[in-house]
Amino acid sequence: MPITELLERNAELYGNEVALVEVNPEITERKRVTWKEYELIEPASVSYYRREITWKVFDEKANRFANMLLSRGVKKGDKVGILLMNCLEWLPIYFGVLKTGALAVPLNFRYAPDEIKYCLDLAEVDILMFGPEFIGRIEEIADDISRHRLLFYVGEGCPSFAEHYDSQASNFPSTAPDIKLTDEDYAAIYFSSGTTGFPKAILHKHMSLMHSAKVEQVHHGQQRNDVFLCIPPLYHTGAKMHWFGSLYSGSRAVLLKGVKPRSIIETVSREHCTIVWLLVPWAQDILDAIDRGEVDLSEYELSQWRLMHIGAQPVPPSLINRWKKVFPNHQYDTNYGLSESIGPGCVHLGVENIHKVGAIGKAGYGWEVKIVDENGEIVPRGGVGELCVKGPGVMTCYYRDEKATAETLKDGWLFTGDMAQEDEDGFIFLVDRKKDVIISGGENLYPVQIEDFLRSHPAIKDVAVIGLPHKRLGEIAAAIISVKEGMTLTEDEVNEFCYKLPRYKRPHKIIFADVPRNPTGKIEKPKLRQIYCGESLVASQVKS
């Protein structure tokens, strides 16, 4: 069934129960919320902005927006772009789009003006919804993008080149529009991370979204009394599809703005969160803050917190071992997925398999997996090959890109571009991105393996390994290392630590610098290659 029916079911069964909470600990100024459906709460011990919305109001606001869009001529197959930071308006807008039969097109909040225009044009977006954080960027391209599309602003202080979303939508009926939807109708276009240039547009049907909701609920067992803390951006399939577990179970979710360790722990305590999805850097920051005494866990109510899970990137086993020492009662899980497979869950570890920490797991609920060589033949167990997945959540295509679609989708299998291997128990371990493999002196080096090893050093906060050109070896491995606050580390100490690695896996260059990551926690290796390839490196050492 279409994903919109889950929202309508929740509105009918649990209408007066809270569906979504927005918390922003960084807002200290008192603000009044004029919308009668929202509530502003400021606890006595800390000033932070908090709003909440019930399932009934959630559905009604989605209906009003859908009816507004229909009044503007939006029809099945049209596209509506969403360029918003996480907020209470985000999901009602998303579902309002779906209720019209149009496609929701979420946009990365980090996009520059030219990237925004590129994505709008590629996806053939008819209407763009945007928030206050993007006024400057949209203004730069407003003359170009407004010629053939409507612009709606979400927030206070509407700019002159856009219409105000709430003042328009609030005038329309709160009843559901009479639009018939099926599993086979197109629902959304998501964009790839753009690691090889401008992003690709990924087309999904309602069937994909529904499958992701069921997968999430099966994997993490959300019940009505669970509370999910959502921190990553909703434009990304990872955050939204993890939230779909809350939608499926009719349970509450909290949208937290900010990733400071104290804010995360404070929100888990105040909002009684039971499930928290973290990215690797945030989990590391929490543990570091606890170690430094900046966060005292005894000050918070955390006994209800049952599950911490991580995805979007390879997870260092050393991090989870460290986490379990601090939070011994937590279940731990990891999910693997891509936007092309409608986000997390096509491969899944499972809370019962923590003894396999470091693996991404086995085929998720309703999914098939295989690992193949360059000829598409399945590799023997233990061999390294490309991970392929197949299931109801695979994308329809790369929108308006037949060549890329043909290269990625073959006989129903999605070729992920990730190199992996299967152990003797059938658990899959990520080795690296196919395009990130370093070939040095004829040997294949997999940066993730080297990164996992280096992260086990007590002074290393984060690390990225990339290949740099080398006259004799073709490429060499360079380690960009970020050191923990208050600690020191030298090249000699790193090199000595790496003696535990086979000689061919040891980094030839050590660079002390920040490790850039995108909003979903993935290391931005193209950016690092752009910075360091071909340059004379400072604070680095060559060992050849």
Where are the domains positioned within the chain? 4-220, 443-532
> What pLDDT does residue 441 have?
64
Interatomic CA distance for residues 137 and 141, integer angstroms = 7
* Closest residue by Cα to residue 151 from 123, 172, 130: 130
Contact 311, 275 (CB under 8 A): no
**Token reading at 143:** 């003359």
Domain at 443-532, CATH from 3.30.300.30, 3.20.20.70, 1.10.3720.10, 1.10.1670.10? 3.30.300.30
pLDDT tens profile 452-486:
889 889 999 999 998 888 766 778 899 999 999 88
Bridge-partner residues for 348, per DSSP?
335, 362
pLDDT band at 533 (very low <50, low <70, confident <90, very high): confident
**Token reading at 348:** 């899944």
Q: SS3 letters for 166-201?
A: HHHHCCCCCCCCCCCCCCCCEEEEEECCCCCCCCCE
pLDDT tens profile 339-358:
999 988 999 999 999 899 88
Question: Which three-class secondary structure state does DSSP give residue 67?
Answer: helix
> What pLDDT does residue 438 have?
83
> What pLDDT does residue 48 have?
64
> What pLDDT does residue 45 have?
40
> What pLDDT does residue 403 have?
95
Mean pLDDT, residues 22-28 taken together: 78
pLDDT band at 195 (very low <50, low <70, confident <90, very high): very low
pLDDT tens profile 487-510:
999 999 999 999 888 787 889 999
Interatomic CA distance for residues 269 and 279, integer angstroms = 19
* Closest residue by Cα to residue 26 from 81, 77, 86, 83: 86
* Closest residue by Cα to residue 429 from 360, 376, 484: 360
28 versus 292: the higher-pLDDT residue is 292
Mean pLDDT, residues 153-170 taken together: 93
CATH 3.40.50.620 for domain 4-220, yes or no, is no
From the number of C-beta atoms within 10 Å of its C-beta (0-12, 13-18, 19+), residue 403 rates as: exposed
Contact 49, 23 (CB under 8 A): yes
> What pLDDT does residue 194 have?
53
Q: What is the mean pLDDT of the chain?
A: 88
pLDDT band at 312 (very low <50, low <70, confident <90, very high): low
- pTM, full prediction: 0.82
Q: Count of CB atoms within 10 A of residue 427's CB? A: 19
Ordered DSSP codes for 449-485: HHHHHHHTSTTEEEEEEEEEEETTTEEEEEEEEEEPT
